[in-house]
């Protein structure tokens, strides 16, 4: 047992003298440590209640891994550069030097064409992919052959058989005879290919590098650099317009832009509507508003549209608002609405025929929806600009400035038309001859003429 005594400001213990200030400091640290232990314990209880024991364990493992990585930097996971195009394809593509297919392009005059289409694996209801297959079908119906080569930058293998079955089973796609393949850069496209089509900016890279002597075409449906903020992918997408391909574009706006800004050889085909799916079936007055709501596609102006719809609902709370294009159930929208989510093409006409006006925003090339809405007797309200009004000329399309109040006012004015039922019938009649058949013939003529050299 030690001897302890206090003399003045000093504590004596077993012959050692310690200043009282140090003893007090140690005591304070001990009390602070106890408080920290209680705080940690309370936090552990709270986290366990909120996340369960497994969640707390995962947090502990994450902290341990973090400490380990800090101490051993070589153990940190390495991030690969990921883009829509394969990194190596973008690296090896030197478009400043002419390729053999550009200096001696294939010409065909007296027989059917063998065409190859490189495209991203399509989804079940991808509008861009539907349009690609629509024009593949027109080529086939004109006596030409097509093969589809699926390309992506992901690590997993593409199951071409599954994609073929998905396309065949979906009512959104035409029935094509084309063979489907996973694109192999070593084998390339079939050796008898006459015309090779890129269908999106990322597919332009394998189309450029492919060893085939086939003449190159670029099926351009939108100005894809605008899909990205200014950066690498924006520039890589823009560069594809300098590859020397013949651009076949959806509408005149794209054709003029690519020719004027990049010196690209371009030809345009017009827009149409799938009239077997869209028709005018409700001649009564309609009070609904349709909005193409697709937050994952920024060029569709989702937030801008929501603002306009909020103003519409504020002005007229009784207006039914129908949204389709994407599942938006996770969004807290400030107005009553019906969320139809993603629908098959066969389900849209019934919804359209409940609506008097449709709000469609397109901040790059014009959407295909306005003509479809017109076919169902819906008055489309679009954001104004040459990207839209240069593509389709129809007196029943209403243009407005891309501002919430301007868009809302245009929708409400069209909805309040005293002659809306008759006006809707005339709108539907204005597109009764605008099927895809004429654009399909235009497309085939463009390709056949270009192949003649």
DSSP 26-46: HHHHHHHHHHHHHHHHHHHHH
**Token digits of residue 74:** 């070589």
Choose among 325, 314, 313: nearest CA to 288.
313
CA 276, CA 414: separation in Å to the nearest integer? Answer: 26
Q: Report the alpha-carbon distance of residue 371 to residue 334 in Å, rounded.
A: 29
| 126 assigned to some structural domain | yes
Other CB atoms within a 10 A radius of the CB of residue 199 amount to 27
Residues 96 and 203 in one domain: yes
Q: Note whether 234 and 363 are same-domain residues.
A: no
Other C-beta atoms lying within 10 Å of the C-beta of residue 374: 29
| Predicted pLDDT at 74 | 62
Do 256 and 380 lie in one domain? The reply is no
Q: Count the domains in the chain.
A: 3
Residue-wise pLDDT tens for the chain (453 aa)? Answer: 443 333 333 333 334 444 444 444 555 555 555 455 555 445 554 444 443 444 445 455 556 556 655 666 666 678 889 999 999 999 999 999 989 999 988 999 999 999 999 999 998 778 899 999 999 999 999 999 999 999 999 999 999 999 999 999 998 899 999 999 999 999 999 999 999 999 999 999 999 999 999 999 999 999 999 999 999 999 999 999 999 999 999 999 999 999 999 999 999 999 999 999 999 999 999 999 999 999 999 999 999 999 999 999 999 999 999 999 999 999 999 999 999 999 988 999 999 999 999 999 999 999 999 999 999 999 999 999 999 999 999 999 999 999 999 999 999 999 999 999 999 999 999 999 999 999 999 999 999 999 998
Q: In 3-state terms, what secondary structure has residue 20?
A: helix
Kind of pairing between the strands at 321-324 and 338-339: parallel
Do residues 71 and 133 both lie within one domain? no
CA distances (Å), 167 to each of 176, 184, 341, in order? 9, 21, 21
Does residue 36 share a domain with residue 111? no
Verify that 318 and 409 share a domain, yes or no.
yes
The CATH number linked to 211 is: 3.40.50.11090
Query: How far apart are alpha carbons 451 and 215 in whole angstroms?
Result: 7
177 assigned to some structural domain? yes
Same domain flag for 166 and 121: yes
Does residue 122 lie in a domain region?
yes
* 265 shares a domain with 318: no
Domain-ending residue, one of 53, 75, 97: 75
The Cα–Cα gap between 252 and 366 comes to: 10
Residue 127: predicted pLDDT: 85
**CA 1, CA 406: separation in Å to the nearest integer?**
90
Residue numbers of the domain that contains 197: 87-272+439-451
Task: Give the domain-ending residue among 18, 51, 75.
Answer: 75
Which is nearest to 80 in space by CA: 153, 13, 6? 153
How remote is the C-alpha of 372 from its chain's centroid?
A: 20
Do 374 and 445 share a domain, yes or no? no
Asked if the structure places residue 280 within a domain, the reply is no
Last residue of a domain, one of 49, 75, 101: 75
| CATH number of the domain within which 409 lies | 3.40.50.2000
The pLDDT score that the predictor gives to residue 2 is 40
Q: Residue 165: which H helix or E strand, with range?
A: helix 160-169
Residue 205 domain-assigned (yes or no):
yes
Do 446 and 429 fall into the same domain? no
229 lies in the same domain as 106? yes
């Amino acid at each position: 047992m030690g001897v302890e005594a206090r003399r003045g400001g000093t504590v004596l213990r077993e012959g050692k003298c310690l200043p009282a200030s140090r003893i007090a400091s140690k005591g304070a640290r001990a009390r602070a440590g106890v408080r920290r232990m209680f705080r940690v314990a309370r936090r552990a209880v709270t986290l366990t209640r909120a996340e369960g024991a497994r969640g707390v364990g995962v947090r502990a493992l994450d902290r341990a891994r973090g400490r380990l990585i800090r101490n051993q930097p070589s153990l940190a996971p390495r991030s690969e550069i990921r883009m829509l195009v394969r990194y190596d394809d973008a690296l090896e593509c030197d478009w400043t030097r002419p390729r053999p297919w550009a200096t001696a392009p294939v010409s065909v005059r007296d027989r059917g064409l063998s065409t190859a289409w490189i495209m991203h694996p399509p989804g079940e209801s991808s509008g861009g992919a539907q349009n690609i297959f629509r024009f593949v079908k027109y080529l086939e119906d004109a006596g030409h052959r097509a093969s589809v080569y699926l390309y992506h930058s992901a690590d997993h293998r593409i199951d071409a058989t599954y994609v073929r079955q998905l396309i065949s089973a979906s009512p959104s796609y035409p029935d094509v005879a084309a063979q489907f393949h996973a694109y192999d850069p070593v084998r390339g496209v079939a050796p008898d290919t006459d015309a090779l089509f890129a269908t999106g900016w990322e597919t332009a890279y394998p189309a450029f590098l492919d060893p085939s002597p086939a003449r190159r075409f670029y099926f351009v449906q939108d100005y894809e650099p605008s899909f990205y903020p200014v950066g690498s992918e924006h520039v890589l997408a823009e560069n594809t317009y300098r590859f020397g391909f013949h651009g076949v574009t959806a509408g005149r706006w794209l054709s003029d832009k690519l020719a004027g800004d990049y010196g690209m050889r371009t030809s345009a085909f017009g827009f149409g509507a799938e009239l077997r799916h869209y028709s005018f079936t409700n001649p009564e007055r309609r009070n609904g508003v349709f909005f193409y709501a697709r937050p994952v596609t920024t060029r569709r102006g989702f937030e801008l549209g929501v603002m306009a719809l909020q103003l519409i609902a504020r002005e007229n709370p009784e207006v039914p608002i129908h949204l389709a294009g994407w599942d938006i159930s996770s969004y807290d929208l400030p107005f009553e609405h019906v969320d139809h989510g993603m629908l098959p093409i066969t389900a849209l006409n019934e919804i359209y025929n409940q609506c008097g006006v449709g709000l469609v925003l397109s901040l790059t090339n014009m959407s295909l929806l306005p003509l479809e809405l017109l076919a169902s007797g819906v008055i489309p309200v679009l954001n104004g600009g040459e990207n839209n009004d240069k593509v389709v000329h129809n007196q029943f399309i209403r243009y407005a400035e891309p501002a919430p109040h301007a868009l809302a006012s245009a929708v409400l004015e069209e909805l309040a038309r005293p002659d809306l039922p008759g006006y809707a019938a005339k709108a539907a009649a204005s597109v009764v001859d605008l099927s895809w058949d004429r654009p399909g013939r235009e497309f085939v003529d463009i390709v056949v003429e270009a192949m003649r050299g």
